[in-house]
A and B are shown apart, each in its own frame.
Chain A
């Protein structure tokens, strides 16, 4: 669990590599990477909560949606500047995160997952019927202020945001707090039996996860410039987040990042060959095979690769 020099070297290499990328790849690839960055943020958010504590959330689009709708409504309907609307959106999402926490104080497992799924569906219904003049109802909202122009700027912004979140969460999870959250996922009763208040730990995980989801949701909507409720509160969107985290490797921070990039590019490269929904069969099959043979995800394959490289060097 300790920090080593090569951890920082790897992060440094990744940051430099990602920031240099616009010099060598096309705008089309950059646009795909922007989506991968946002998916990575959502997958990290899911991982901080569900990957660590074992409380599987099916309600993350609910949190992302709160962040996205809050800043979209504030900027478009009330002309609030984004410097204010985004922090307010994050705050609102954290309050919503506490709402998601409430059932977790009493239930877990599949029941918790179903309750959080209900939150997502609830918000989908609410945005359509409550004040459609503000939310845009079923049609959603368009003409939302964008923060950047051009693929390269959008890429730099999303990459900076994603890497800032990833490095902060990675450092946070390297502390004893990360160990305690992982311990909840392994045996919550034993954590209580070790004298730790699991309610407080879970509240922290929920709030942190909500903060990231809110931040990601707010920036995402200001990248897209539009908001469609059916796309946001969609079961496919939810599963894309979860599969990215599982495929990459939960409880690792770097895993969900790898998973998000792998999935986004896989789906993108499959598009010319399989333009319809059948693409999802291919990624489903890959996810299934990987999960069967390497449940710890792609990150474990990368780790093994590094280990064998190291062995080869020392031999």
Chain B
């Protein structure tokens, strides 16, 4: 298996605060990696740097062997990496189908004008995350948090990523919705999708990942299988408050 994502010696400073401290990790193609740590550990900052929403002070990010640090966010997405956000960001005055449509669009104005929307693919993506056909015309204001997360997943999947970064994908979901999203992730893993997943819901996260890394204040403190990381003394001291 080749390396899908390689993060090397990543450093991000906000004034005097070091948010990412010489962080290195890699993800093999088809692998699922959990990124865990307490609140404020810098997990979302790592995501933002991979996506180009924040520029690192130093270090490199490679996607399938190509350095992507100089690319803009849309270019990185076209290169094959996409993310969901902790707080869903739907297009408020567009239906579920139209929200997914934006993710499916080519980054080419002429193509946007001349080729019609792929409504079949919109429906497929909506159904794959657990929406019903009747939901396609619903507006985000009518959706519960779980549905908004599903919509976020569908729009991210619409960009045809090879590597998906999922940020707190279970936050605010009911047990049933967690099971639904988990099933979706498992089925995508079987299809070869590569995942980097941040979640505070550790029981839900465990079955979805091959290994985990734990960070604290931007520094990696443990790496290994889920149980190895959770049994690590440093992790227990920082993340679990020493229990």
**Are chains A and B native binding partners rather than an unrelated pairing?**
yes
Chain A: which residue is nearest B140 at the CB level?
Answer: A186
Residue pair B109, A200 in contact (C-beta under 8 Å): yes
On chain A, the residues within 8 Å of B159 by CB distance are: 194-195
> When A193-B73, A193-B83 are in contact, do A187 and B89 touch as well, CB less than 8 Å?
yes
Q: Mark A181-204, 1 if CB is under 8 A from B, else 0.
A: 011001101111111111011001
On chain A, the residues within 8 Å of B102 by CB distance are: 179-180, 183, 190-191, 194, 196
> When A187-B91, A201-B109, A204-B109 are in contact, do A176 and B117 touch as well, CB less than 8 Å?
yes
Question: B130 near A: Cβ within 8 Å?
Answer: no
The residue that A195 contacts in the complex, of B107, B112, B116, with Cβ under 8 A, is B107
Residue pair A195, B72 in contact (C-beta under 8 Å): no
Within 8 A of A (CB), among B92-130: 92-94, 98, 101-103, 105, 107, 109, 112-117
On chain B, the residues within 8 Å of A204 by CB distance are: 109
> When A182-B94, A187-B89, A190-B91 are in contact, do A195 and B113 touch as well, CB less than 8 Å?
no
Chain A: which residue is nearest B158 at the CB level?
Answer: A194
Question: B219 near A: Cβ within 8 Å?
Answer: no
Contact-size category for B: 20 to 34
Residue pair A186, B109 in contact (C-beta under 8 Å): no
> When A177-B109, A204-B109 are in contact, do A187 and B77 touch as well, CB less than 8 Å?
no
Residue pair A196, B91 in contact (C-beta under 8 Å): no
Chain A: which residue is nearest B108 at the CB level?
Answer: A200
Residue pair B103, A194 in contact (C-beta under 8 Å): yes
Q: How many residues of A contact B (CB 8 A)?
A: 24
Within 8 A of A (CB), among B44-76: 51, 53, 72-74
Chain A: which residue is nearest B95 at the CB level?
Answer: A1
**Min CB gap B110→A, angstroms:** 9
On chain B, the residues within 8 Å of A193 by CB distance are: 51, 73, 77, 82-83, 85, 89
Q: How many residue pairs, one in A and one in B, have C-beta atoms under 8 Å apart? A: 84
Residue pair B91, A183 in contact (C-beta under 8 Å): yes
On chain B, the residues within 8 Å of A197 by CB distance are: 72, 74, 107
Q: State A204–B159 Cα separation when bound (angstroms).
A: 22
Question: A27 near B: Cβ within 8 Å?
Answer: no
Chain A: which residue is nearest B92 at the CB level?
Answer: A186
Chain B: which residue is nearest A201 at the CB level?
Answer: B109
Question: B78 near A: Cβ within 8 Å?
Answer: yes
Q: State A189–B88 Cα separation when bound (angstroms).
A: 12
Question: A84 near B: Cβ within 8 Å?
Answer: no
Q: State A198–B155 Cα separation when bound (angstroms).
A: 17
Q: State A172–B92 Cα separation when bound (angstroms).
A: 22
**Min CB gap A28→B, angstroms:** 41
> When A189-B89, A195-B78 are in contact, do A183 and B73 touch as well, CB less than 8 Å?
no
**Min CB gap B107→A, angstroms:** 5
> When A180-B105, A192-B74, A195-B82 are in contact, do A175 and B112 touch as well, CB less than 8 Å?
yes
Known pairs A176-B112, A180-B112, A189-B53; list 11 more (Cβ under 8 Å).
Answer: A175-B112, A176-B115, A176-B116, A177-B112, A182-B91, A186-B93, A187-B90, A192-B74, A193-B85, A194-B103, A197-B107
* Interface of A toward B, CB cutoff 8 Å: 1, 172, 175-177, 179-180, 182-183, 186-187, 189-198, 200-201, 204
**Those 3 A-B pairs whose CB atoms lie nearest each other, nearest first:** A195-B77, A177-B112, A176-B112
Report 19 cross-chain contacts, Cβ distance below 8 Å, ordered by A residue.
Answer: A175-B113, A176-B113, A176-B115, A177-B112, A180-B102, A180-B105, A182-B93, A187-B92, A190-B89, A193-B73, A193-B85, A194-B102, A194-B155, A194-B158, A195-B159, A196-B102, A197-B107, A198-B74, A201-B109
